[in-house]
Amino acid sequence: MISTNDFHTGLTFEMEGDLYEVVDFQHVKPGKGAAFVRSKIKNLKSGAVTEKTFRAGEKVKRAHLERKEMSYLYRSGDEFCLMDLTSYEQINLSKEQMESAVKYLKENDTLTVVNYEGKVIAVELPLTVELAVVETEPGVKGDTASGGNKPAVVETGLSVQVPLFISVGDVLRIDTRSGAYIERV
């Protein structure tokens, strides 16, 4: 158990059968009445962020999450095979467990798998990935970085808006949080 007085950003806890992560918090001590903790919490299953007010000193059950670095080996139908980088143990995850990570993964890429009580609850990607362009309109002489955007399809099938000078075969750095083009590598 942990007191709401000890909240900090990134803390995970269990409440009403769901897992939550503290996104933001503020201790409030009004001149009259009892102190309280105003917080923004994220449901780790649904991804929904809600605001909740706790009484100061209220207890919640702390959730200890285990994070493992794993390598993506291959896909077989709707199953994704991953290997633990320390124990070399292999696990299979479903398409639902992999969520949006599928759009950014190539074989042998490294990602973080988050476990709670032996169950995989999330997959965390690095902030950026490097992917090669496999399909886009050809660049024309005179195209510049500030001249506009065009769609490009990268090797994982993800469609990204890129500057006009990008051509097939270029390797791009992509932000995994937004799916946006950052730069040509």
Tell me the pLDDT tens digit for each residue of 29-61.
Answer: 988 889 999 999 998 877 889 999 999 889 999
Half-sphere exposure of 117 (CA within 13 A, CB side): 6
- Distance CA(71)–CA(98), nearest Å, equals 13
Cβ–Cβ < 8 Å for 79, 96: no
Name the residue range of residue 116's domain: 66-124
Q: Are 57 and 15 in the same domain? A: yes
Q: Are residues 145 and 100 in the same domain?
A: no
What is this structure's pTM? Answer: 0.73
Residue 116 has pLDDT above 80, yes or no: yes
Place of tokens 């292999």: 90
Distance of alpha carbon 7 from alpha carbon 26, whole angstroms: 9
Q: Which residue is listed with tokens 């903790």?
A: 37
Residues 23 and 56 in one domain: yes
